[in-house]
Structure 1
């Protein structure tokens, strides 16, 4: 691995109390190029633009996928990744579905550790703070030909992060648009999945909703995901979430919530959630809470749900009453080294994992 340190670092001008998530980037990034059937040298280089052509195949034909993950800093300044092996496995699963080459563990895990170690000063400390990390793969071959590309770039960039949603949100159950379909790429973190969701979300925004609960493409009778999150429904004291499939992303936060709930002795049912079941539970008072989970947001609690032109209000629970917020705290405490990690999820990023070349 080659590490080229920036000669003009921007960390001295970074204000951890005043920054924009997703627009503020750390001093370095990881890049690795694929050509002639193999990946080249992994490099950590100063963050900045790269030269690409408008004829780049990733732009024209959509061969692009990514991951979302975070690094956390504890009160002693130690830095941790969270379950990076899950993201490593999933990016290769996405790449396979999009006919792109798999990345190696050295590229992914080694690149992550080297980057986070080098720019650990960019990780803000405090509640809700972290470093959001975006590994990605995309086709770079310059050719207007609808086929599998021969050149790719693997990269890792990162941005400081704070709490995503600070208040409960309103969501709308989709009865027309779908996020994915059988035989499609719903299980992959394909870039195009997100582009296709923007227009329906815009329509929902115009109706006063922040997000959408996506339903199945054939009948629109079953929940699938919510926005860019996996969805959870609590009826009485049982948590329900749809099973992962070729249409539903196997979320790392989702899996973590399920394991934490079981550890607390909360009944969990991984099974299809019918819209009718949800509506009936809201009408008869057994519906307690609904929320979404994902890396960026961690937990987004829903305050109301739109369906058939009606806005259905959901119960307002205290932090102690809410399963969503209780499990969120359990998760964040593990991520930030404030609690025991019985699962072995927390991965320490040691200092000086790589010498500068």
Structure 2
């Protein structure tokens, strides 16, 4: 099973992985994926072995499969590179989407307008393997959280188009930290019962530090560079996650942690959490853009700090805000709601290879 991509990509493939486990209960299931994902792969009841695979081409030029699989499954993309990678393992059978470079291989046509979870369900269903799209959950990690009950602010994203401005994240963090202080003063709860934490990977250290400093948080509020096991433990035991359209949001979905998710150029209909889970609130302006653009998406910039705070505070007191695609916009600027009838090709994530 090839899925040599990132955190969110792994988590959206979990229902398909579980379906394959049920379909082949006696087989050894090997997942070709990046080695840093191992802490999450180990939580899955669907994978026996992780074959460290940093990306496309690794199976052909370096990693290589140590065996000839009876079945290979392309959960990576549309091809052609992912298909070529799997063919080098000389599988007995290959499940993949149809591609003109490989006319002898049958499969469904690749469709850009499917939700990422649904995409792999359609692929496997064509081969008689039913997928339950609700099986996104992961069991909580055994590692304790470094900040139990925290409000987690994750300002980063893979591309600038999906990054809400740091000063806005800081305003949200400052307000939520003030809420905690005010609660302690009024009802006597122990200070620090709900710390506000800013997270990021090592490359995002300057961004996380900027957000924390703007919010008036101490250096201890910056959690950067920890491994995925530590991040998973933090999110699994968090009171709330506030982030953009990124892997940490999918992690909150997997653990059932309440979350406020800020979507920009990519519709949540393609990468958002299930609409059946009200603890995950999506804010989206209703416009579609280029998810790989070098500047924040205009639609993302239409989301306001008050709207994010309203959703966050409602979740923190145990309420369930209405899921909406236009939250955060002035009434006279609200865009279209629900599924978009059409969208630009550029709004699709780079899943075709």
Larger strand fraction of residues = 1
TM-score (norm 2): 0.30
Q: Which has the higher contact order (CA 8 A, sep 6+)?
A: 1
